Structure 1
């Protein structure tokens, strides 16, 4: 009794698979990705800073960009609004009401750069230049008291920024991982 049901199911799956394969050829699904198109999306930055672009930015310029493009959602001083708070909360993670912000929770400054570069501002992701992303990163880190007001960040200095919660996560046990 089960053998005819299995054969019928198998036949139907094979027919469907052929139809899907034919449709994918008609619509260009499954085509190899052009290296130039892939490069535009291959912008990840790891904790050690691999993938950071050339450029630099300082706290003062970051304040200007933040005021123009970020404060509407995150508040003038990163206190939050319709967007998450970015500053404050240092020392609250073990309390009854932890406040997870860039300064209190995030383990790597490079993660901040990567996130801003990919996803901010919310209404125009990936619209900031590398210099602007370095500057906004410097400003947000300054809001949290992590870098001084005269800080200038670049691909060499950003990975060296020690975040307050860097050791608050379980390490990656893979050989060579951070």
Structure 2
């Protein structure tokens, strides 16, 4: 009990010291600059907003996938290691008792595949792939799922034009604060 009381006392002393020190102490209360935000502002939206410059090919993506992704997702994304997602296949399974959700069967937007791979992959070292490498891995995944041909070169413009097989399988957000649902005139 004594150790617990001492720990609480130390914690309260630290909090009080930070409060007394005021804004800027330990960076607390200091406004964040655009330069500090920029490395974290990497999200890519369904419409492609946020896609960075760069380009990639299926051929390069195949090599990167073999080196960086296959240990978890299998050689061609079809035979993942235990606990990891299958990335290829699943066509026609979403309405069955055992749907297989993959890039090709479930994912609604190709642009958000870039977002996910860029932010979260490869598993042991997320954000370690360059933009060109991410475009290449995405091109390879789309190729494996029969969405783009083998000679595809992906960049921001090309990726925005990719129509995913399940793009119409989702419904818009019905909350009243979404832009398409906000009342524009004669609202009650």
> What corresponds to 2:107 in structure 1?
106
> What corresponds to 1:22 in structure 2?
20
Query: Given the two structures, how large is their TM-score scaled by the length of structure 2?
Result: 0.79
CA deviation digits over 1:109-160, x for unaligned, max 9? 0010000000110111111111000000000011111111111110001011
The CA deviation at 1:27 is 2.9
- 1:62 maps to 2:61: yes
> What corresponds to 1:42 in structure 2?
41
Runs of at least 5 residues in structure 2 that lack an aligned partner in the other structure: 1-14, 182-188
CA deviation digits over 1:25-62, x for unaligned, max 9? 44332321122120000011111111111110010000
Report the RMSD for the aligned CA atoms in angstroms. Answer: 2.2
Q: Following superposition of structure 1 onto structure 2, how do residues 75-94 of structure 1 map, counting pairs within 5 Å? A: 75-79=74-78, 80-82=80-82, 83-94=84-95
Runs of at least 5 residues in structure 1 that lack an aligned partner in the other structure: 1-17
Range 167-176 or range 156-165, more displaced: 167-176
> What corresponds to 1:52 in structure 2?
51
Query: Given the two structures, how large is their TM-score scaled by the length of structure 1?
Result: 0.83
Range 65-74 or range 167-176, more displaced: 167-176
Which runs of 4 or more aligned residues in structure 1 lie more than 6 Å from their structure 2 counterparts after TM superposition?
Answer: none
Q: Following superposition of structure 1 onto structure 2, how do residues 143-154 of structure 1 map, counting pairs within 5 Å? A: 143-154=144-155
- What is the aligned residue count? 162
The CA deviation at 1:172 is 3.7
> What corresponds to 1:10 in structure 2?
none
Distance in 2 (CA, whole Å) between partners of 1:158 and 1:66 is 18
